[in-house]
Amino acid sequence: MGGFMDIKGTKIYSDSLASSVRDDYQTLLAFGVSDEEAEKIILKGYENFIGTEYESIFWISFAYTQWRLGRLSKDIKDKVIEVIDSGEDLKKWKKVILLEPQLKANRSGLLFKSLTSIHEEETISDKTPSKIEKGMQEYYKQNIEEIVAFAKNMPEYKDVNTNDLIDLTEDAFTQSIHFINGSAKKKYESRKQELLTFKSQIDQNNPRKKVQKPEYNESLWKPGDCVAFKLENLDGDYKNLNGKWVAIRILRVVEKPLIDILPNLAHNDTITISFYDVITEKCPTKSDIMNADYMVLFNTDGHLHKGVWLSLYQQKRYLKNWEWVLVDSNPDFEKEDSLFFSEGVFQAIICGLNQLSEFFIHGLKEKQKSIEATKS
């Protein structure tokens, strides 16, 4: 349970665990799960926090969320009162008061150590079966290495000796609480007041509130699908391409469950695509793309961005009117162009469906720059 706890303030929802409990519970209700069943799912899903230094945060955030939505059960109410009265939650905040002088002296070093620990944890798996995945891992690792190298030259970090720092390896809270603005004593008093205010209001019967479903986006496609669509909204030198057809290959679909403790409920998908260097008058066929090259969309300091993240966020309305055709489904697509994928597919760029035409044109421009560079 050690590590760097994401705490941004003294309010009940100001840390990552509390906000996760809130979001998971609200999502369950939004998908029509009954009050009783939602409570059981949360208690089961977060049971590994019971008996740890995180336990008080769990009970306080869960009870507060139920209370706010007009669903506070007697069992949860009794438990949170017990937790608040025990003072267990405030011990974390009080500890920072005692350590504040040492933490202030170590401030730059602790920040730098957090950064370098991310770098050390970023590894490239030898078991990764896909060249696409391996290329992405290598790209991320290189980015982190560049950030760490830059930080080492900053004046506040240049002479830091991380070996002399206070050891917070097994303390998930102290460093995070310290980095919240304000003195340790003021933060302690603010957190104390937050809990006392909640306890004083807990007998207030709030009306049951309807919970709206959160935004989530599930992919229409799977890795290996080839999707064709018409170019649109182009102007200037590329206006004549409006209405022409182009094609993309779905390289990667990563499903992130909306709720980790109930992964089959719904999920958000991260999609990576590449464009084929093909323009046709009618919807392209499988034979049209069979011998076509993929496009390099960006060349950033030698990083060839051969793909982009396709975001479906807030694209549902657009998707309803978007004309697209499934041309091909080929899970072995990567093997058929091993040279293109040999260095991986780097995609630091994000685009929406409504930006696909623009990104295709950027690929054409990049291709022209490459041709001109070769000639010179």
Tell me, yes or no, whether 218 lies in a domain. Answer: no
Q: Look at residue 155 in the predicted model and tell me its pLDDT.
A: 65
Last residue of a domain, one of 131, 150, 165: 165
Tell me, yes or no, whether 309 lies in a domain. Answer: yes
Q: Which two tokens stand for residue 48?
A: 């590994």
pLDDT-wise least confident of 110-114, 239-243, 264-268, 306-310 = 110-114
Q: Which two tokens stand for residue 295?
A: 């496009």
Residue with tokens 């909306």: 258
Segment 41-52, tens digit of pLDDT: 999 999 999 999
* HSE toward the beta carbon, residue 138, CA cutoff 13 A: 15
Q: Look at residue 263 in the predicted model and tell me its pLDDT.
A: 93
Q: Look at residue 142 in the predicted model and tell me its pLDDT.
A: 67
Tell me, yes or no, whether 220 lies in a domain. Answer: no
Segment 277-287, tens digit of pLDDT: 999 999 999 99
Can you say how many angstroms the Cα of residue 252 is from the centroid of all Cα atoms in its chain?
16
Q: Are residues 197 and 122 in the same domain?
A: no
Q: Are residues 154 and 23 in the same domain?
A: no
Whether the CB-CB separation of 274 and 311 falls below 8 Å is answered with: no
Q: Are residues 6 and 93 in the same domain?
A: yes
Indicate whether 18 pLDDT > 80.
yes
Q: Are residues 325 and 294 in the same domain?
A: yes
Segment 168-198, tens digit of pLDDT: 777 778 888 988 999 999 999 999 999 999 9
User: pLDDT category, 240, cuts 50, 70, 90?
Assistant: very high
Tell me, yes or no, whether 52 lies in a domain. Answer: yes
Which residues, at least 6 apart from 358, have a Cβ–Cβ distance to it below 8 Å?
233, 234, 351
- The whole-model pTM stands at 0.78
CA distances from 355 to 35, 233, 252, 294, 295 (A): 41, 9, 19, 18, 16
Q: Are residues 147 and 172 in the same domain?
A: no
Which residues, at least 6 apart from 75, have a Cβ–Cβ distance to it below 8 Å?
none
Tell me, yes or no, whether 179 lies in a domain. Answer: yes
Which residues, at least 6 apart from 169, have a Cβ–Cβ distance to it below 8 Å?
2
pLDDT-wise least confident of 112-126, 298-312, 336-350 = 112-126
Q: Are residues 230 and 297 in the same domain?
A: yes
Q: Look at residue 374 in the predicted model and tell me its pLDDT.
A: 81
Number of domains in the chain: 3
Tell me, yes or no, whether 7 lies in a domain. Answer: yes
Last residue of a domain, one of 157, 187, 213: 213
Q: Look at residue 151 in the predicted model and tell me its pLDDT.
A: 59
User: pLDDT category, 267, cuts 50, 70, 90?
Assistant: very high
Segment 289-301, tens digit of pLDDT: 988 888 988 887 7
Whether the CB-CB separation of 255 and 192 falls below 8 Å is answered with: no
Indicate whether 258 pLDDT > 60.
yes
Can you tell me the distance from the alpha carbon of 202 to that of 207, in angstroms, rounded to the nearest whole number?
13
Last residue of a domain, one of 213, 247, 277: 213
Average pLDDT over the chain reads 86
Q: Are residues 198 and 321 in the same domain?
A: no
Tell me, yes or no, whether 184 lies in a domain. Answer: yes
Tell me, yes or no, whether 93 lies in a domain. Answer: yes
Whether the CB-CB separation of 68 and 18 falls below 8 Å is answered with: no
The residue type of 28 is L
Q: Are residues 206 and 237 in the same domain?
A: no
Q: Are residues 279 and 239 in the same domain?
A: yes
Can you tell me the distance from the alpha carbon of 142 to that of 135, in angstroms, rounded to the nearest whole number?
11
CA dihedral 57, 62, 67, 70 (to 10 degrees): 170
Give me the mean pLDDT over the 21-38 stretch. Answer: 97
Segment 316-368, tens digit of pLDDT: 888 888 999 999 999 888 777 666 666 656 666 788 888 999 999 999 999 88
Q: Are residues 229 and 319 in the same domain?
A: yes
- Provide the domain limits for residue 119: 107-165
DSSP 292-360: PPBPP-EEETTEEE--EEEE-TT-HHHHHH--EEEEEE-TTHHHHTHHHHTT------EEEGGGHHHHH
Q: Which two tokens stand for residue 264?
A: 């089959």
Whether the CB-CB separation of 61 and 76 falls below 8 Å is answered with: no
Give me the mean pLDDT over the 234-241 stretch. Answer: 93
Q: Are residues 271 and 144 in the same domain?
A: no
Whether the CB-CB separation of 87 and 70 falls below 8 Å is answered with: no
- The neighbour count for residue 3, using CB atoms within 10 Å, is 13
Q: Are residues 81 and 201 in the same domain?
A: yes
Segment 61-102, tens digit of pLDDT: 999 999 999 999 999 999 999 999 999 999 999 999 999 988
